[in-house]
Amino acid sequence: MLRFLSGLCFLMAANMVLAQSIEDIDDLVKKGQWDKAKTAVDNFLSKEKNAAKSDGWWFKGIIYNEIAKSEQYKSLVADGRMDAFNAFKKYYEMDQKAVRATLEQHVRLFDIYNGYFDQGVADFNAQKFEEAMNNFKKALTVGEFISGKGFELVTNGVAVKIPAFDTTLVQNVALSAYRAKKEDEASIYYRKIADQKIAGKDNIDVYQLLIEYYTKKNDKENKEKYLQLGRELYPQDDRWYQIELEEVKKDDKKALFAKYDELTGKYPDKYVLFYNYGVEMFNYAYTGDNRPADYKEIQKKVEAILKKSLEINKSQTEPYVILTMHYYNMIYDLQEEQKAIKGNTPADQKKKTDIKAALVANADEMLMYANGAYDIFNSKISLKGSEKANLRKVVDYMSLAYEIKGDKAKADEYKKKLETIQ
């Protein structure tokens, strides 16, 4: 019996020493003596029996987080916030009810999250991009823990929760990594966003950056994956077909036109795509020193493609102007054929008659598109220099068209209008 009582007294004494030690640490915390509190809690947790209980880890979390925020004491530890976070994690593991933390609404975890986030912002603004990346990553780690526990902080009746997927923070990590020229690291976090098919105007560049990244890596499978996601989430954006066009060398016209044919099939309602294709074909047909071998076929395609662009968008002047120039070239070709006829045989006369009819038909077509451009230009209050140049060109061609049709009065009318365009 005496041995039992002696053992009981020893146990009670030990508990008193433990309580006294925690009270001493608590007292130092209340006084804000963080250097002494750190020494006390480290010594306390160095004992195996103390480290097996939650209280010491709770106080270590408090002390190390406050040290991280203190200009005076933060040099005592390399990364006080992470030490504090790891201490709190042990506390939550050991105390399933987490009474101390629950009474405070787990505010200290939110404080660590905010501390890393704010430091990341400060580093980014100071162009310390690698440091910003690391701090945002740590904020993400803490945030995922808070979210996983379902903790929320109620302030002024408003509940603050960290989302299960913190898109803004993941973006911050990725952008910081990208600006730090750590593209492999950036791609990891951009993929986190893209793989969840997160859209919105602030995220469209994510998909483009991933496409560019995998293009550099010559990873066709992933490039196509994120290209498809971009098209799916942002169907109205023009960059997806532009990215595909950039793969083709501009001087390889056969490959370029084949790619345009493929893309116009994929994107049948893209005005800019059809317009640019028409311009490429127009320049291929008419601006080189020599006519291409498939000149006649290209002329037909110029018409078809530019007319399609007008079906999509009739409010733009450019297709009207280029189609006007196209028919001018058609007329020029016919006039050259006409000049080449030297004889007066019935066959020659028929050729001349046919060419005359073709000239009138092309003049009518030219007038239709010239009038389209003319009407849009005249509807504007003022014109830019390039628009005035195009208007002069259109009016000049209209005068020519009326001459071909034999309408001298109209031809003279547009000659006079040409003089008024300054």
On whether residue 67 sits in a domain, the answer given is: no
Q: In terms of pTM, does the model score above 0.85?
A: no
Predicted pLDDT at 10: 34
Residue 330 has pLDDT above 60, yes or no: yes
Q: Compute and round to an integer the Cα radius of gyration of the chain.
A: 38
List, for residues 381-395, the tens digit of each pLDDT value: 999 999 999 999 999
Same-domain check for residues 334 and 407: yes
Same-domain check for residues 267 and 336: no
Same-domain check for residues 308 and 320: no
Same-domain check for residues 349 and 267: no
Angle between helices 385-405 and 346-378 (to 10 degrees): 150
d(CA 115, CA 9): 46
Residue 9 has pLDDT above 70, yes or no: no
Residue 155 binned pLDDT confidence (cut-offs 50, 70, 90): confident
Residue 57 has pLDDT above 90, yes or no: yes
On whether residue 387 sits in a domain, the answer given is: yes
Average pLDDT value for residue range 113-139: 98
List, for residues 268-314, the tens digit of each pLDDT value: 999 999 999 999 999 999 998 889 999 999 999 999 999 999 999 99
Average pLDDT value for residue range 116-131: 98
d(CA 257, CA 23): 81
Same-domain check for residues 319 and 309: no
Q: Tell me which residue range forms the domain holding 253.
A: 247-313
Higher model confidence: residue 82 or residue 9? 82
Same-domain check for residues 276 and 333: no
Same-domain check for residues 291 and 251: yes
Same-domain check for residues 349 and 407: yes
Mean pLDDT of the chain: 92
Same-domain check for residues 343 and 420: yes
Residue 7 has pLDDT above 80, yes or no: no
On whether residue 391 sits in a domain, the answer given is: yes
List, for residues 353-362, the tens digit of each pLDDT value: 999 999 999 9
Given 291, 313, 335, the domain boundary residue is 313
Residue with tokens 């018409």: 303
Same-domain check for residues 349 and 410: yes
On whether residue 273 sits in a domain, the answer given is: yes
What CATH number is given to the structural domain containing 365? 1.25.40
Same-domain check for residues 420 and 321: yes
Given 271, 287, 313, the domain boundary residue is 313
DSSP state string for 123-153? HHHTT-HHHHHHHHHHHHHHHHHHHHHT--E
Predicted pLDDT at 21: 82
On whether residue 321 sits in a domain, the answer given is: yes
Pull the structure tokens for residue 126: 């100071």
Predicted pLDDT at 160: 87
Given 313, 338, 369, the domain boundary residue is 313
| Count of domains forming the chain | 2
Residue 13 has pLDDT above 50, yes or no: no
